[in-house]
Amino acid sequence: MLLAHRIRLDPTPDQRDYFARASGTARRVWNWALAEWQRQLSSGQRPNAMRLKKCFNAIKYTDPAWLDANGQPWLRTIHRDAHSQPFANLAKAWSRYFAAKREHRPAHPPVFKKKGRCRDSFYVANDKLRLEGMTVVLPKVGRVALREPLRWPGRILGASVSREADHWFLALRVDVPEQAARLHRTDDGITGVDLGISATATFSSGEKVSAPRPLKVTLRRLRIRSRRLSRKLKAAEASIGITGRVPKGIRLAASKNRTKGARALARLHARIVHMRADFMHKLTTRLCRENQTVVIEDLNVRGMLANARLARAIADVGFYEFRRQLQYKAKRYGSTLMLADRWYPSSKLCSACGARHDNLRLRERVWTCVTCGARHDRDINAAINLQRLATGAFAAQSALPVASPAATSGTLTGMVPVRVGKVTPVRHEYGQQDGSGQEENDAHY
């Protein structure tokens, strides 16, 4: 089983400097490759990562753009993995883009990386690094201290070093033996989960959990720090006589205080990100640990994003991230994740009698079934309907769709009735873990 562990590093100032330069190299090579890719595409050729890399290798030690002030090729000071991996990442980014487009998911073509706006990271191949207790030995920098030892036994497949605010992390991809990756389930429940706006998640048991909103104190501090930084930016602009938009190609001088301000702001943003990630991990772990089957809706995220008011809530909650975590954690706990068809009207069916109410509005949080008189909380009702898909409790008496036992063990046969909704068992797949910035897919914080 492929798992990743992201470990905080304690680099020396020299090592930090190397990390920053290696990340800069990776970014610059990515931009070169992307520009070349686009150029070839517009001239009617079929770009190919391997060929591009060959072209780059031919010029990287001689082309004036890749020489330093003394005419020396500065790429020699950076380990090769940092400047060869961007080509593979770019090829993957393009194929991800086309795959998403084919499946009508939100798709973004690869974009140029801008210093300070993109993730700083670079790749190290597995044969170039060595773990020794609480240290890792990396090419060109030597021994770097780790904050914790690697959690998994198994073969290391690759690693990437990345920055978050002013901290550096090492993400290790490990092929863990099944036995060591398995976790113990504490209960055998079957739970339907409705993701929503008022509560982040509603369980079919009636329980509602909400993502922590960043505390008022944090938000206030965020405002203060942003204001401080923008004042310093204004001052930097004023000192060279710019009013309004900064023209392209102009670099503002970075004062010590501006750098400090930017760091403080970045740290705060990182903390808010950590709070959300922590909540999400605990939620998905709990669902997989306590249930043999978890049923969620395969949300039509694209349709929902078209609705501006819903868009923020969905983006905040991160439906894809929720599903991705459930997928790999279900495998570790030996539980099943089921996806209800996105056309399954989980919120429009009465969970008491099975009657369908198509004219239900989104703002009706509580409603009464005109057929049987049951009173429903919209979210709980939806969660119960999702749970029904797995239990099949109502199969005999109502028109509620039911997932046959066969469906949970991996086939689609014997389902009734398809008209209302169908259940697709989810294949356990591992996300991209390639050092392109997505490598900590399965990382545990």
* Residues near Zn ion (CB under 5 A): 350, 352-353, 355, 369, 371-372, 374
Q: Which is nearer to Zn ion, 37 or 394 (CB)?
A: 394
Min CB(170)–Zn ion separation in Å: 55
Nearer CB in complex with Zn ion: 328/367? 367
- Shortest distance (Å) from residue 155 CB to Zn ion: 55
CB of 373 to Zn ion, least distance (A): 7
HSE-up of residue 89 (Cα within 13 Å, Cβ side): 28
Q: Which is nearer to Zn ion, 82 or 383 (CB)?
A: 383
How far apart CA 57 and CA 29 sit, in angstroms, is 11
Chain centroid offset of residue 157 CA: 20
Counting Cβ atoms within 10 Å, is residue 199 exposed (0-12), middle (13-18) or buried (19+)? Answer: middle
Q: Judged by CB, which is closer to Zn ion: 28, or 348?
A: 348
Cα separation of 83 and 63, whole Å?
15
- Asked if 430 contacts 442 with a C-beta cutoff of 8 angstroms, the reply is yes
| Straight-line distance from the first to the last Cα atom of the chain, in angstroms, rounded to the nearest whole number | 18
| C-beta closer to Zn ion: residue 197 or 355 | 355
Cβ closest to Zn ion, residue 312 vs residue 375? 375
Least spacing, CB of residue 413 vs Zn ion, in Å = 30
Give the number of C-alpha atoms closer than 13 A to the C-alpha of residue 30, restricted to the C-beta side.
32
In whole angstroms, how close is the CB of 357 to Zn ion at the nearest point? 9
Minimum distance from residue 385 beta carbon to Zn ion (Å)? 12
Judge whether 56 and 49 are in contact, CB under 8 Å: no
DSSP, residue by residue, 8-66: EEE--HHHHHHHHHHHHHHHHHHHHHHHHHHHHHHTT----HHHHHHHHHHHTTTSGGG
Q: Which residues lie below 8 Å from residue 121, measured CB to CB, with a gap of 6+?
A: 23, 26, 160, 161, 162, 163, 435, 437, 439
- Residue 265 corresponds to which tokens in the numbers above? 């702001």
Helix axes 319-333, 308-317, angle to 10 degrees: 30
Q: How far is CA 382 from CA 102, 297, 333, 374, 398, in A?
A: 30, 10, 25, 14, 16
Closer to Zn ion at the Cβ: 296 or 369?
A: 369
> In whole angstroms, how close is the CB of 419 to Zn ion at the nearest point?
19
Q: How far is the CB of 30 from Zn ion (least distance, A)?
A: 56
Give the residue with the Cβ less far from Zn ion, 209 or 353: 353
Cβ nearer to Zn ion, comparing 196 with 354? 354
> What's the closest the beta carbon of residue 361 comes to Zn ion, in angstroms?
17
Whichever of 2 and 355 has its CB closer to Zn ion, that residue is: 355
Q: How far apart are CA 337 and CA 136, in angstroms?
A: 37
Smallest separation (angstroms) from Zn ion to the CB of 358: 14
